[in-house]
Chains A and B, each alone.
Chain A
């Protein structure tokens, strides 16, 4: 059962999964190794939840393989080493926090002590409250407690901090880092890029059911060469992409974001073409810029082989 440190704990190989008419996964490869935190990023419908469902045994691949600790994700032995926080899972309204956490601890052969579980999840003082009486953020913390109750070797966190306030989020991050330091592997899906940047040592960007980028947050960011210019302008997307040195254009509300390796060259031309430019900021490209750019570019980037190696 025990895997050598170099062997992946969880693995998808050429996984294909059809959901209704759409192809949710189209030959996806994913490896997660001990002590590694992998953030799975991508737009809605990219295949993130399907990947999670395959690795947790909720779905079976139509083709390719999904394996967990070298076996079938559905085996009870494999599931006993995994803790999962689902995106929209509920809690029994009438059970108290302590009762629900105790119940899940009981599923595992070597559970984490109750007090430690409650403390790590930031639930001290809420033990006797019924789950139905908790706020959304508190319920998420109970879900996290259920996920770590078995001291898992593989922790799956699907949008873990939805509904949490800033303090609760930071608290959860600290707890996740402790799990990683203990040697657990973590698979994280999130819409918060700052969360991925804070926790993950590897980012996998997927779209249309395929991996389009895979690397450290720094490697992903360096894919977007240079600088992001944000502003309000009356120029069209076509005009903007024809500006000097522009490598990417995207819109967010009323503002546009231009990626460029040379801010002065682009800015000079932008200001010359449109004297109404307003609300202008220039900053180094963020992880979010990089992911946006990668998803826009679509097909797997040519540098992928070099970087994955």
Chain B
């Protein structure tokens, strides 16, 4: 009971703190909504299937920024300020700090994705309920691999470097994952890069779940995602251990 309440308090503090940081809220929540409103709905007026396809990509896009910045830039800044050190000494249950951050990132992603879904519905996108749940749910779950990648950045770079690296990764993951521009109209080498990005595989799964693509190669996508997540987890674990040494 006590442990659970610590996780919740920690998450609440992280959410409040994030909410008061506009440089975080704007790219995390406002940007996906603005882009989707303009490009997904504005430009594709009357062609709901484009708005539908873009929604599938944008739920992944919307989860990258909160995870990447919440775990990358913010962890680096708190580490530099020795705030994490103080929390490691304080009687937080193991992983309390990281669990709090993860819950906070998921809440933010949840808000961003929920608003995206509402916007899409208003724009005329229609799906059967399970496809809605699966598409938005996948977007939410995709925060986890991105958070793990962000954590590597946050634990391995200083706060200035981490912000730069997180931005670079954020843009590359969106671009080479084919979330903004279809890979079919990009050069072939971009497609090769896409193969190693989690955003591409998540985007493909999202297209399938939302009914825009037939189910195909699911084990392939899942196994690459699992490999990337496990590698990121091992990397983050060793970096966390090293700074606790």
Interface residues of A (CB under 8 A from B): 56-60, 76-77, 79-80, 82, 84, 86, 88-92, 94-95, 99-100, 102-104, 106-109, 130, 146, 150
- Asked if B185 is at the interface of the complex by the 8 Å CB criterion, the answer is no
Residues A95 and B13 in contact, CB atoms below 8 Å apart: yes
Of the candidates B5, B82, B83, which one forms a contact with A106 in the assembled complex, judged by CB atoms under 8 Å apart? B5
Residues A92 and B89 in contact, CB atoms below 8 Å apart: no
Q: A79-B91, A82-B89, A107-B90 given. 18 additional CB < 8 A pairs?
A: A58-B85, A58-B244, A60-B245, A79-B89, A84-B86, A86-B82, A86-B85, A88-B82, A89-B81, A89-B83, A89-B85, A92-B83, A94-B21, A95-B16, A102-B9, A103-B10, A104-B90, A107-B6
Task: Write out the residue numbers on chain A whose beta carbons fall within 8 Å of the beta carbon of B80.
Answer: 90
Q: In the complex, what residue of chain A is closest to B12 when comparing beta carbons? A: A103
Where chain A touches its partner, the secondary structure class is loop
What are the interface flags for B74-112 relative to A under an 8 Å C-beta threshold, 1 for contact and 0 otherwise?
A: 000010111101101111111010000000000000000
Residues B94 and A76 in contact, CB atoms below 8 Å apart: yes
Interface footprint category on B: 20 to 34
**Given A91-B83, A92-B78, are A57 and B89 also a contact pair (CB < 8 Å)?**
yes
Residues B82 and A90 in contact, CB atoms below 8 Å apart: yes
Of the candidates A91, A102, A108, which one forms a contact with B91 in the assembled complex, judged by CB atoms under 8 Å apart? A108
Task: Write out the residue numbers on chain B whose beta carbons fall within 8 Å of the beta carbon of A109.
Answer: 2
- Asked if B17 is at the interface of the complex by the 8 Å CB criterion, the answer is yes
Closest 6 CB pairs of A and B: A90-B81, A80-B91, A94-B20, A79-B91, A106-B9, A89-B82
Residues B13 and A99 in contact, CB atoms below 8 Å apart: yes
Report how far A77 CA is from B17 CA in the complex, Å: 28
**Given A76-B91, A95-B17, are A89 and B86 also a contact pair (CB < 8 Å)?**
yes
Task: Write out the residue numbers on chain B whose beta carbons fall within 8 Å of the beta carbon of A91.
Answer: 81, 83
Task: Write out the residue numbers on chain A whose beta carbons fall within 8 Å of the beta carbon of B16.
Answer: 94-95, 99
| Min distance, Cβ A130 to any Cβ of chain B, angstroms | 8
Report how far A82 CA is from B91 CA in the complex, Å: 8
Where chain B touches its partner, the secondary structure class is helix
Task: Write out the residue numbers on chain B whose beta carbons fall within 8 Å of the beta carbon of A76.
Answer: 91-94
Q: In the complex, what residue of chain B is closest to A143 when comparing beta carbons? A: B86
Q: In the complex, what residue of chain B is closest to A56 when comparing beta carbons? A: B89
Task: Write out the residue numbers on chain B whose beta carbons fall within 8 Å of the beta carbon of A100.
Answer: 13
Task: Write out the residue numbers on chain B whose beta carbons fall within 8 Å of the beta carbon of A99.
Answer: 13, 16
Task: Write out the residue numbers on chain B whose beta carbons fall within 8 Å of the beta carbon of A107.
Answer: 6, 90-92, 96
Q: In the complex, what residue of chain A is closest to B245 when comparing beta carbons? A: A59
Report how far A94 CA is from B80 CA in the complex, Å: 16
| Min distance, Cβ B223 to any Cβ of chain A, angstroms | 37
Task: Write out the residue numbers on chain A whose beta carbons fall within 8 Å of the beta carbon of B91.
Answer: 76-77, 79-80, 82, 107-108, 150
Report how far A130 CA is from B13 CA in the complex, Å: 13
Interface centre among B10, B80, B91 (most CB of A within 10 A): B91
Please name 16 pairs of A and B residues whose Cβ atoms are closer than 8 Å in the assembled complex, sorted by A: A58-B89, A58-B244, A59-B245, A80-B91, A82-B91, A84-B90, A86-B89, A88-B82, A89-B85, A92-B13, A92-B17, A92-B78, A95-B16, A99-B16, A103-B13, A104-B90
Residues A106 and B86 in contact, CB atoms below 8 Å apart: no
Report how far A99 CA is from B17 CA in the complex, Å: 10
Task: Write out the residue numbers on chain A whose beta carbons fall within 8 Å of the beta carbon of B244.
Answer: 58
Task: Write out the residue numbers on chain A whose beta carbons fall within 8 Å of the beta carbon of B20.
Answer: 94, 130
Q: In the complex, what residue of chain B is closest to A73 when comparing beta carbons? A: B89
Interface centre among A59, A99, A107 (most CB of B within 10 A): A107
What are the interface flags for B1-36 relative to A under an 8 Å C-beta threshold, 1 for contact and 0 otherwise?
A: 010011001100100110011000000000000000
Task: Write out the residue numbers on chain B whose beta carbons fall within 8 Å of the beta carbon of A79.
Answer: 89-91
Report how far A90 CA is from B159 CA in the complex, Å: 14
Report how far A107 CA is from B94 CA in the complex, Å: 12
| Min distance, Cβ B178 to any Cβ of chain A, angstroms | 35
Residues B17 and A94 in contact, CB atoms below 8 Å apart: yes
**Given A76-B93, A79-B90, A92-B17, are A103 and B9 also a contact pair (CB < 8 Å)?**
yes
Task: Write out the residue numbers on chain A whose beta carbons fall within 8 Å of the beta carbon of B10.
Answer: 103
| Min distance, Cβ A229 to any Cβ of chain B, angstroms | 43
Report how far A82 CA is from B90 CA in the complex, Å: 8
Report how far A239 CA is from B10 CA in the complex, Å: 63
Report how far A130 CA is from B6 CA in the complex, Å: 22
Report how far A88 CA is from B80 CA in the complex, Å: 10
Report how far A153 CA is from B82 CA in the complex, Å: 23
Q: In the complex, what residue of chain B is closest to A60 when comparing beta carbons? A: B245
Report how far A108 CA is from B80 CA in the complex, Å: 25
Q: In the complex, what residue of chain B is closest to A132 when comparing beta carbons? A: B20
| Min distance, Cβ A213 to any Cβ of chain B, angstroms | 28
Report how far A95 CA is from B12 CA in the complex, Å: 11
